[in-house]
């Protein structure tokens, strides 16, 4: 280390060069948002859906535009402008199909063949009342293209599959321009492109806000602690550099930032600050004792640097435990955070330490150090642990029981709206469609013909109709459509367009006539529902955002229905689609969370075993770190917070950071005993020399994560609150429970 520090100017120059490169490549960083990031990777249902998409396309390639009108939509001026928008929308970029009540029509069979009847007679206001009566009687378009009160209409745009961010922004810009040209200022949007635009905008805003807020927080805390601008400058430069290097590395690796990106600035700044404080505190103490700069720094690195390295490794392991998640968004967040933690440590170890040696003692040291303020407080805490050890153990046991009760109350009934920016246009639009239409969640049912049958055979179609009717009876499911919709529409057309005839014909010969007509007149519409071999088909629908647990009950009941009520020798049915996969991910959250934490605990235990080579210390070190995890889980249960993929990162953060305090405390205790101090003397020295740094870093972490309370992203707010409170609990356990365990068992 002596040789490395001798090259301090070279090291500083090298890091400065790397920072310049990072600044140059950071603008290339891209933000992404795709619900597929939360699909359970490796799951057989995901494999099935990927194959299903190849034949039928994606189920989220739509953009819905709802346009309200004061009073009723049956007003000529409104309908004329709406119809103009519907026609012009076909010309928009990336739009494949444009549909609305003003562009669709009823088919009617006459002696001369099929003709069309308008659903809405645009230029005949005297027929509007009859048009509305017919729409209500049919019920086909209610909650789909018109709401129950006829106060708004929907323009349904089918887009190309999997639009990227730039394409989404282009489409939405054109849509808004078209609406403005036709004097529609009040409208609501819903669809993949809109989600993409809104979430990426939120990500960019969150990263900027959290970065600035974190910098301000770190500045205030460091200044209050050290009261020397030069020290604050060194710390901020170091932390800023580590953040630049981290984002630069992500850019070079081509890693896109997801919805979790807002955590990176906080994690880097807070973890980096923690590393700086531990080394800085010890270094300044040694300078005050009269040691020369290089000697003081070498000793600090030997005594505190090793513990700081170990805490960085254990923190990285905590985040790396997220690799067990089946969600690519969560697992990539875990590995990226682990890289960030190690980047911060390397920056502090080399750059910060080199920078410290450039400044004179008097520039760094305060005339009146504030140790005299801390020492009595820390001694008092130590005396409390000595005099009330039994009470502390009993309280810890009761605390554990209370946590276990809370854990039993955890649910996973997550709703999509919880991930949307608070009080934003997209959140309001989402609620509008949830209340007035069929919601956002797509539902796909794969129809799989068996034993050489075809999905369009009369008997198979009858079975599919049973499934459709079952789906329509579920309150959460709306807008059910399939190839049967085409056959029923023709049956209605053959019977004077009477609503009662929107059913499948009971006569097979009549049905075969409709089959031929569909093949001849509606081949394009049929191909949306049936594949080329006619051995597979789709039934699609929309599902209201009632929560994953509630929907999983619906899915389970559906499987039971198809198993008991459907002739499986003719056809089988399988739920699929992006919505089903998102909901299924909730099944994996608990399992992957437990697996990840168990693996993390094992790895940390191995590290502890290598460090301390003492089984008792290994057990003692684990207990104060398990309780904060139980506490975090209990908070979810008691406050009714749904455990979902994003919230699950709380446990990785808490575990990775909480174990740091334990390592620093035990590391300092071992240094004391190695010097020949008694158990009580070593504990007193540990409290005096490490307790202050533990409290300062925890307070920094607490307020750092509390920054997330100002986030627009509800899960981020929850994570910020949970992590902040839990880290305080971890500090209390390390300062109270850990000394008691040391006295009892070492």
Report if residue 145 sits inside a domain: no
Would the pTM of this model clear 0.85, i.e. be above it?
A: no
Give the CATH number of the domain where residue 237 resides.
Answer: 1.20.1640.10
Give the pLDDT confidence score for residue 368 in this predicted structure. 58
45 and 584 Cβ atoms separated by less than 8 Å: yes
- Based on the domain organization, do 613 and 739 belong to the same domain? yes
Confidence of residue 303 (pLDDT cuts 50, 70, 90): confident
Distance CA 153, CA 104 (A): 13
Q: Which helix (H) or strand (E) holds 98?
A: strand 95-99
Strand partners of residue 95? 159
- Provide the token pair at 261: 């990106």
- Based on the domain organization, do 591 and 708 belong to the same domain? yes
pLDDT one-digit tens code per residue, 644-667:
777 777 777 777 777 778 887 888
Q: What are phi and psi of 158, to 5 degrees?
A: -95, 125
Report if residue 275 sits inside a domain: yes
- Based on the domain organization, do 235 and 365 belong to the same domain? yes
- Based on the domain organization, do 323 and 400 belong to the same domain? no
Confidence of residue 39 (pLDDT cuts 50, 70, 90): low
664 and 708 Cβ atoms separated by less than 8 Å: no
- Count structural domains, the chain: 2
pLDDT one-digit tens code per residue, 586-644:
667 666 667 666 776 777 777 777 777 778 888 888 888 888 888 888 998 898 888 77
Give the pLDDT confidence score for residue 156 in this predicted structure. 94
- Based on the domain organization, do 602 and 684 belong to the same domain? yes
Give the pLDDT confidence score for residue 469 in this predicted structure. 95
CB-based contacts of 679, cutoff 8 Å, min separation 6: 673, 742, 743, 746
- Residue pointed to by tokens 């049919």: 138
Q: Taking residues 467-485, what's their average pLDDT?
A: 93
- Based on the domain organization, do 363 and 382 belong to the same domain? no
Q: Which helix (H) or strand (E) holds 118?
A: strand 113-118
Q: Which helix (H) or strand (E) holds 277?
A: helix 263-288
272 and 341 Cβ atoms separated by less than 8 Å: no
CB-based contacts of 350, cutoff 8 Å, min separation 6: 4, 11, 15
- Based on the domain organization, do 593 and 729 belong to the same domain? yes
Report if residue 361 sits inside a domain: yes
Q: Which of 346, 369, 392 is the last residue of a domain?
A: 369
Q: Is the pLDDT confidence value at 30 over 70?
A: yes
Report if residue 134 sits inside a domain: no
Report if residue 620 sits inside a domain: yes
Written as one string, the DSSP assignment of 30-75 is -B---GGGGS-TT-HHHHHHHHHHHHH--S--EEEEEEE-SS-S--
Report if residue 399 sits inside a domain: yes
Sign for the CA dihedral angle at 169, 173, 174, 176 comes to positive
- Based on the domain organization, do 315 and 258 belong to the same domain? yes
Boundaries of domain holding 640? 371-407+585-746
Higher pLDDT, 627 or 362: 627
Q: Taking residues 106-130, what's their average pLDDT?
A: 89
- Based on the domain organization, do 590 and 737 belong to the same domain? yes
Confidence of residue 224 (pLDDT cuts 50, 70, 90): confident
Greatest alpha-carbon pair distance for the chain in Å reads 108
Distance CA 372, CA 370 (A): 5
pLDDT one-digit tens code per residue, 734-743:
899 999 999 8
Report if residue 543 sits inside a domain: no
- In 3D space, the residue among 118, 120, 185, 182 whose CA is nearest the CA of residue 150 turns out to be 120
Give the pLDDT confidence score for residue 122 in this predicted structure. 92
- Based on the domain organization, do 640 and 592 belong to the same domain? yes
Distance CA 367, CA 79 (A): 79
Q: Taking residues 704-708, what's their average pLDDT?
A: 82
Q: Is the pLDDT confidence value at 203 over 80?
A: no
Confidence of residue 223 (pLDDT cuts 50, 70, 90): confident
For residue 731, the number of C-alpha atoms closer than 13 Å in the C-beta half-sphere is 21
Report if residue 500 sits inside a domain: no
102 and 121 Cβ atoms separated by less than 8 Å: no
CA distance readout (Å), 695 to 520, 578, 654, 661, 691? 77, 46, 16, 9, 6
- Based on the domain organization, do 332 and 247 belong to the same domain? yes
- Provide the token pair at 203: 């990500």
- Based on the domain organization, do 294 and 347 belong to the same domain? yes
What value does the mean pLDDT of the chain take? 86
């Amino acid at each position: 280390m002596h040789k490395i520090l001798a090259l301090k100017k070279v090291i500083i120059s090298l890091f400065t060069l790397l920072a310049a490169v990072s600044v140059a490549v950071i603008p290339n960083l891209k933000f992404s948002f795709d619900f597929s990031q939360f699909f359970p990777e490796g799951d057989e249902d995901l494999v099935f859906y990927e194959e299903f998409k190849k034949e039928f396309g994606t189920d989220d390639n739509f953009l819905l535009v709802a346009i309200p009108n004061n009073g009723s939509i049956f007003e000529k001026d409104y309908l004329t402008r709406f119809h103009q928008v519907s026609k012009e929308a076909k010309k928009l970029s990336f739009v494949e199909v444009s549909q609305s009540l003003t562009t669709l029509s009823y088919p009617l069979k006459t002696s001369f063949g099929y003709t069309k009847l308008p659903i809405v007679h645009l230029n005949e206001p005297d027929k509007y009342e009859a048009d509305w009566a017919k729409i209500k009687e049919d019920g086909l378009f209610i909650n789909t293209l018109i709401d129950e009160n006829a106060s708004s209409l929907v323009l349904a745009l089918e887009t190309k599959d999997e639009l990227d961010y730039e394409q989404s922004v282009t489409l939405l810009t054109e849509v808004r321009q078209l609406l403005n040209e036709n004097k529609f200022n009040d409208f609501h949007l819903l669809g993949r492109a809109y989600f993409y635009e809104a979430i990426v905008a939120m990500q960019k805003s969150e990263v900027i806000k959290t970065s600035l807020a974190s910098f301000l927080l770190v500045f205030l805390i460091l200044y209050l602690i050290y009261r020397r601008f030069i020290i604050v400058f060194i710390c901020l430069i170091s932390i800023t550099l580590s953040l630049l290097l981290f984002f630069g590395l992500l850019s070079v690796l081509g890693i896109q930032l997801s919805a979790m990106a807002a955590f990176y600035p906080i994690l880097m700044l807070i973890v980096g600050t923690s590393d700086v404080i531990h080394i800085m505190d010890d270094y300044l103490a040694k300078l005050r004792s009269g040691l020369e700069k290089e000697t003081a720094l070498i000793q600090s690195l030997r005594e505190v640097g090793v513990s700081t390295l170990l805490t960085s490794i254990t923190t990285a392991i905590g985040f790396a435990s997220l690799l067990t998640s089946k969600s690519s968004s969560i697992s990539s967040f875990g590995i990226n955070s682990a890289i960030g933690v190690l980047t911060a440590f390397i920056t502090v170890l080399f750059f910060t330490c080199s920078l410290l040696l450039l400044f004179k003692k008097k520039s760094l040291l305060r005339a009146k150090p504030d140790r005299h303020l801390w020492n009595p407080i820390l001694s008092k805490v130590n005396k409390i642990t000595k005099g009330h050890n039994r009470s502390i153990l009993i309280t810890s046991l009761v605390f554990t029981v209370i946590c276990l009760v809370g854990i039993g109350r955890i649910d996973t009934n997550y709703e999509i709206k919880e991930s949307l920016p608070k009080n934003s246009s997209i959140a309001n639009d989402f609620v509008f469609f949830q209340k007035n239409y069929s919601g956002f969640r797509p539902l796909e049912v794969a129809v799989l013909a068996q034993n050489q049958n075809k999905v369009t055979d009369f008997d198979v179609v009858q079975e599919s109709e049973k499934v459709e009717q079952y789906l329509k009876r579920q309150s959460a499911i709306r807008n059910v459509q399939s190839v049967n919709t085409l056959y029923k529409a023709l049956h209605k057309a053959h019977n004077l367009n009477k609503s009662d005839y929107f059913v499948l014909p009971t006569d097979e010969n009549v049905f075969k006539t409709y089959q031929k007509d569909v093949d001849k007149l509606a081949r394009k519409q049929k191909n949306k529902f049936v594949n080329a071999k006619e051995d597979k088909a789709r039934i699609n629908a929309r599902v209201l955002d009632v929560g994953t647990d509630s929907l999983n009950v619906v899915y389970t009941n559906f499987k039971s229905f198809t198993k008991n009520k459907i002739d499986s020798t003719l056809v089988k049915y399988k739920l699929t689609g992006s919505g089903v996969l998102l909901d299924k991910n909730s099944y994996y959250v608990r399992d992957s969370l437990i697996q990840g934490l168990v693996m993390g605990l094992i790895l940390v235990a191995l590290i502890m075993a290598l460090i301390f080579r003492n089984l008792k210390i290994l057990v003692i070190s684990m207990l104060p770190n398990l309780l904060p995890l139980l506490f975090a889980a209990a908070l979810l249960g008691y406050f009714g917070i749904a455990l979902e993929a994003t919230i699950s990162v709380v446990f990785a953060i808490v575990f990775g950071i909480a174990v740091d305090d334990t390592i620093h405390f035990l590391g300092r205790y071992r240094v004391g005993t190695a010097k020949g101090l008694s158990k009580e003397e070593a504990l007193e020295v540990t409290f005096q020399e490490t307790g202050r740094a533990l409290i300062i870093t925890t307070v920094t972490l607490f307020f750092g994560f509390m920054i997330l309370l100002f986030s627009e992203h509800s899960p981020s707010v929850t994570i910020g609150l949970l992590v902040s409170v839990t880290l305080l609990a971890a500090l209390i356990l390390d300062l109270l429970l850990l000394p008691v365990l040391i006295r009892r068992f070492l």
